Amino acid sequence: MDLGAITKYSALHAKPSGLILQYGTAGFRTKAEHLDHVMFRMGLLAVLRSKQTKSTIGVMVTASHNPEEDNGVKLVDPLGEMLAPSWEEHATCLANAEEQDMQRVLIDISEKEAVNLQQDAFVVIGRDTRPSSEKLSQSVIDGVTVLGGQFHDYGLLTTPQLHYMVYCRNTGGRYGKATIEGYYQKLSKAFVELTKQASCGGDEYRSLKVDCANGIGALKLREMEHYFSQGLSVQLFNDGSKGKLNHLCGADFVKSHQKPPQGMEIKSNERCCSFDGDADRIVYYYHDADGHFHLIDGDKIATLISSFLKELLVEIGESLNIGVVQTAYANGSSTRYLEEVMKVPVYCTKTGVKHLHHKAQEFDIGVYFEANGHGTALFSTAVEMKIKQSAEQLEDKKRKAAKMLENIIDLFNQAAGDAISDMLVIEAILALKGLTVQQWDALYTDLPNRQLKVQVADRRVISTTNAERQAVTPPGLQEAINDLVKKYKLSRAFVRPSGTEDVVRVYAEADSQESADHLAHEVSLAVFQLAGGIGERPQPASDGEGTPH
Ligand code: NG1
Ligand code: ZN
C-alpha cells in the first residue's frame, strides 16, 4: 500500500468531520453532497475485497427509489450477491473513520481478512442517471486507482445489469458475455424463443405501458427494445426527458400510494408497469372498466411465476423442489393462496433481498419477491443440467416444456432481482397462458393494508424476532400490538426499524381498508409511546385512498 498516495488522495475526498453513516440493507444512502468521501473509500474497500476473493467486485452508484437529491453506493460480491456481512461492518468502519484514522482502519481490515496485498484487483463500476452520479463514480475510481486496482467503468447501467456483469466475469463467460450487448442478447434471445411457442396472443396481449420513474430503466429499455421487438411492443413513460427521478412516479410511488404514476394515461384494462429508479423493482397495474385502480405487486408476480414453473415441472415429470420466499410484508392472501391452493411451500425471511436470495438458494427452484416488486427466480446448477438434458431427450410434449424452462432459466437474472428481466418473464408467461391482466389479478384478492412510518429518537430500541414479525424490545410493545390486532378481523400487524431510513416502519392488514388504517394508526401510537417517539404524534390516515406511509 502506498500510504503517502492514499493520504494525499484521501484529502481530496475529505470526510466532513463528525458525519456518521451506516452500511444498511442497500449500502450507504443519504444526500448526495455527503457522499464523496464514502465513494472514494468504497473504491479502496472494493480493491481489498477483490484481492481477498481473487475475483471481480462491483460498485454501484445509486439511491434506487429515493429522491433525486440523494445518492448511494453498494458493493457487489463475486457471484452478483450483496456484500458479505463482515465486510458490511468494515465498510461502515472505513466510511466513518476520521481522516487521520483512515489508514489504520484500512490496514486493520487487510489484516483481519488476511488480504494478500500483492494479489491483483479488478473492480467494475456502474451508475444511475442522478445528476450527482457521474462525479461520485469518479471518486470511486480514484479510490480504486490509488490502491493499484484495475477497473472497468460501465457508465450508465441499471443495478441488476451491474450484478450481471460481475456474475459473468467471475464465471468465465459461462453465464453470458459481460457487455451490455451480451445482456441484451441473452435476455432477448430467450424471450423471443419462448414467446414463439405462444399459440394465442394477438396484439392485445403484446403491448405494455412502462413507467420508467424518469430513471435509467428508460435508457436501457429503449436500447434493448429493438432486440425483442417481434415479441412485445413497449410504450415508455416518465423516460427522464422532463420529469424528476422517482417524483410522483416509479414502482415505489405506485406501491406505497396505491395509485398510478403521473405522466401516464391509462385506458381501462390496459396492462401497465412501473420500474423504480435503478430498475431492480417492478409492479404491474391496470384500471378496470369502472375506473378502479388495481395493483399487482411482487406477491402476485411471485404467484404467477411459481405456478407457471410448477406446471412446466409437472409436464416434464420432474419432481424438483420449488419454494417461494417472502418477507413479513407479503400480503396474507398471497401466502394463503400459495400454500393452500397452489401447494407450494412458502418461507419468510427478514426484509432485504440478500436474506431472500440466500434462502431461495436452498431449493432446486427458489422464487423470491418482496411485496414492493424486487425479486427473481433462482435455479440450481443441477436443475439447469437436468432441464438441458430433458430438452434433448424427452418426447415431443415434454421436450417442449423442457425447452420453455430452459429459456426461462436464461431469461431470469440469476444475480439479482431485475425489472427488465422480470418484465420479459411475466410478458412471456401471460402470452403463453393467454392470460389477461385481469385474469392474473383475479388469482386472489389482496387484504387491504397500510404502511406507516414513525419517528423515534433511536430506532435501535426496537428489536425483532421470527423474521421481523414480532417485537422483542421495547418491553410491552408486542403485547400492545397483540391486543390491538385482536380487535380486527383477518388482521395482522408488525413493526421494525427500517434498514435504509431513520424511521420505524409499521405494517397492518385487515378485512377492510378502514380497519387496516385504524390498526396501523393505533400501532403507530403504541410505537410512539413505548419506543421513544419524537416530533408530532402520529396522525390518523386522512383519507381511505393511499395516504403514503
Ligand atoms: P427498509 O427501509 O429496511 O424497510 C426498504 C424496503 C426493502 C428493500 C430495501 C432496499 C420495504 C418495506 N422496505 O427497506 O424491501 O427494498 O428498502 O431498497 O419496502
Ligand atoms: Zn431499486
pLDDT tens-digit profile of 134-145?
999 999 999 999
Task: Identify whether 151 is part of a domain.
Answer: yes
Task: Identify whether 232 is part of a domain.
Answer: no
Task: Identify whether 470 is part of a domain.
Answer: yes
The chain-wide mean pLDDT, for the chain, equals 94
d(CA 52, CA 55): 8
Among protein residues, the one whose CA lies closest to atom 13 of ligand 1: 351
Closest ligand 1 atom, CA of 24?
3
Question: Distance of CA 130 to CAs 171, 246, 247, Å?
Answer: 31, 11, 13
pLDDT band at 6 (very low <50, low <70, confident <90, very high): very high
pLDDT digits (tens, 9 = 90+) for 196-216: 888 754 444 489 999 999 999
Closest ligand 1 atom, CA of 503?
2
Res. 232: pLDDT tops 60: yes
Annotated binding-site residue? 370: yes
Mean pLDDT of 460-472: 98
Res. 545: pLDDT tops 70: no
Mean pLDDT of 152-179: 97
Single out the residue in 156, 181, 201 at which a domain terminates: 156
The CATH number assigned to the domain holding 124 equals 3.40.120.10
Task: Identify whether 307 is part of a domain.
Answer: no
pLDDT digits (tens, 9 = 90+) for 44-89: 999 999 999 999 999 999 999 999 999 999 999 999 989 999 999 9
213 and 262 Cβ atoms separated by less than 8 Å: no
Task: Identify whether 411 is part of a domain.
Answer: no
Mean pLDDT of 333-343: 97
List the alpha helices (DSSP H) in 147-179.
Answer: 159-170
Annotated binding-site residue? 499: yes
d(CA 179, CA 163): 12
Ligand nearest to the CA of 159: 2
**Which residues, judged by CB distance below 6 Å to any ligand atom, belong to the binding site of ligand 1?**
25-26, 64, 329, 351-352, 370, 372, 374, 498-501, 505
Give the contacts of 363 (CB within 8 A, at least 6 positions apart): 321, 322, 323, 378, 380
Domain that holds residue 87: 3-156
Closest ligand 1 atom, CA of 370?
15
d(CA 40, CA 140): 5
How far, in whole angstroms, is CA 32 from its chain's centroid? Answer: 21
Domains held by the chain: number? 2
154 and 124 Cβ atoms separated by less than 8 Å: yes
Cell of 503: 424511521
59 and 75 Cβ atoms separated by less than 8 Å: yes
pLDDT at 17: 87
pLDDT at 198: 81
Separation of 296 CA from ligand 1 center, angstroms?
18
**Best residue for ligand 1 mutational test, from 500, 504, 507 (most atoms within 8 Å of Cβ):** 500
Task: Identify whether 119 is part of a domain.
Answer: yes
d(CA 137, CA 129): 11
Residue 101 one-letter amino acid: D
Is residue 64 part of the annotated active site? The answer reads yes
Cell of 9: 488522495
First to last CA, the chain: 47
For residue 18, the tally of other CB atoms under 10 A from its CB is 7
Single out the residue in 156, 176, 211 at which a domain terminates: 156
Phi, psi for residue 261 in degrees, rounded to 5:
-75, 160
d(CA 208, CA 284): 10
**Best residue for ligand 1 mutational test, from 25, 325, 326 (most atoms within 8 Å of Cβ):** 25
Res. 477: pLDDT tops 60: yes
Task: Identify whether 11 is part of a domain.
Answer: yes
Single out the residue in 141, 156, 171 at which a domain terminates: 156
pLDDT band at 542 (very low <50, low <70, confident <90, very high): low
Which among 50, 64, 307, 421 is annotated as catalytic? 64
Task: Identify whether 148 is part of a domain.
Answer: yes
The CATH number assigned to the domain holding 480 equals 3.30.310.50
352 and 505 Cβ atoms separated by less than 8 Å: no
